[in-house]
Amino acid sequence: MVRSSDGAVASPFYGLGETDSYNVLAKIGYQLAPDHHVEFMGNYYRSLQDSKYVGTKGDFDKSPAIGMPSDTVINGGTPYNKAFHLKYDGQYGKTAANLSLYYEDMNTVFETYNQNYSDHKGARLNFNTPFQLGASTNMSLIYGADFLKDHTVQKTMKDDLVTPDMNMNNVAFYLQSKLNIGTDWILKGGVRYENIRFKVGDLTKNGKLTAGENNNSDAFVFNIATRYNKYSYAQPFASFSQGYSIGDVGLILRNGVPLSQIDPKPVVVNNFELGVNGKMDIWDYQVTGYYSTSKKGTTFAETSTPGNYELSQVPQHIYGIEFVGNIKPVRWLSLGTVLGYMDGRQDLKNEGNYKDKLDNSIISPFKINLNADFKLTDQWNVYLQYLHLGGGTYFLRQNIIMENTRFPVIIWLIFKRDTNIRNSPFYSPSTIYSMLITIPSMPKYAVQPMKVVIISKGLGLWQI
């Protein structure tokens, strides 16, 4: 059971209270020959909530919803998640070969009345071949193919369709190279081609039939990067890479929208990165700045009908900077920090003027992470961590209900203490203490599947 600091039972809605979890993992390997190894892994996971409470309605920004005793069945969680992985590693001359086969089947229940069924199966064939181009120059090529078959569907607890059956088949080929020029320069570059076949089944909703359709598309992306390693205290690096995404089309298809109206072709994102890292005596650091652009950045806007969304693709720019630093003043103490800032703009009218702010489903709040690791003895260490997330006032408070991804970002403060004692090769006892503080005391959190605002308190989430 999850309670707040004043003893109130947290609402079971999207909560973790009264949950039973089971996790079974098995792994076995066999050495076929000196240069050939095969390994099999199986994992079964189950986590279900069986709560005797139901969430009450609260008064926004005044009092949270809490859990009250009730006979209502609250059964969120994961009834099953089955995963299997078969891996082969072999050496053929100078070329290292790797083959991975995987399968995953899972069922997830959320909001107590909806559930997702999804299964994934696929394979990756990968090769790595090194070349010696000179006395001080060497090169390696990584190349191979990916195969993926993905199926997803959302249903009610009575197995009625919420979304149509969605099937996606992917075939991809890739080549990645790394060139070491002497001991100072590193150059990297690669390409990837992917063919995507998307198939959607029929969906009948409110007496209306939306016929299933097919959609085929291709994506071609590349990357290039360089690093200069001559000086240990300052090693600059730069890179350009491309990625692509299709977006959560199921969020639109559930409204009875035909697949052809969405046209889910891959949207290419261009990523630029520039930074420097180094190490001097007792400390090391890394500073990285990044800038991403997309001509068709994908977002989902809620229509006037709660729970219905329409696809929006407009030009977007996202940028940020991150600093990582560590220092070890004495043998028994290590101190570290991570600072991260992210922001972005979009051109809603497609006029070349990026003045519109991106919502909270894309932009992360400002982050401060501080940590200290005390090595008290050879077998005993204590790790302390402080995490600060927030705050921001991008969107006015009156927009919270109307636009559920555009709301003020509050400040989260998380303190964590982790103690480990390693006094035996067979067991290692540890204790973890975590404390969450929010400013204001009741943070706001919005979810997309429905027009509702969630207030969280502690680790539980409350509905109003």
CB 284 within 8 A of CB 326: yes
Q: Is the separation of the CB atoms in 125 and 145 below 8 Å?
A: yes
Please tell me whether the peptide bond between 164 and the residue prior to it is cis, using omega within 30 degrees of 0.
no
Q: State if pTM tops 0.85.
A: no
* Among the listed residues 177, 170, 214, the one whose alpha carbon sits nearest the alpha carbon of residue 194: 170
Q: Where are the alpha helices (DSSP H) in 322-463?
A: none
231-260: pLDDT as tens digits: 999 999 999 999 887 777 777 788 788 888
Whether the predicted pLDDT of 361 surpasses 80: no
Please, which residues have CB within 8 angstroms of residue 317's CB and are 6 or more apart in sequence? 291, 292, 293, 344, 345, 346, 354
Tokens of 117: 């069924």
Closest CA to 227 of 184, 191, 190: 184
**What would the pLDDT profile of 292-334 be if each residue is shown by its tens digit?**
998 877 666 655 565 555 667 788 999 999 999 999 999 999 9
- Does the structure show a pLDDT above 80 at 7? no
Closest CA to 316 of 298, 300, 297, 301: 297
Give the chain's mean pLDDT.
Answer: 82
Cβ 97 vs Cβ 126: under 8 Å: yes
Tokens encoding 186: 């590193």
The 10s digit of each residue's pLDDT in 261-302 is: 776 778 889 999 999 999 999 999 999 999 999 887 766 665
- Look at the alpha carbons of 234, 235, 240, 242 in this order and tell me if their dihedral is positive or negative: negative
Mean pLDDT of the region 179-184: 90
pLDDT of residue 460: 34
Spatial distance between the Cα atoms of 108 and 119, rounded to a whole number of angstroms? 12
Where are the alpha helices (H) located in 309-447, listed in sequence order?
none
Q: pLDDT band for position 354 (50/70/90)?
A: confident
User: Is residue 25 within a helix (H) or strand (E), and if so which, with residue range?
Assistant: strand 19-33
Looking at the predicted structure, is the pLDDT value of residue 142 above 70?
Answer: yes
Which of the four pLDDT bands, split at 50, 70 and 90, describes residue 401?
very low
DSSP percent split of the chain into helix, strand, coil, nearest 5: 0, 65, 30
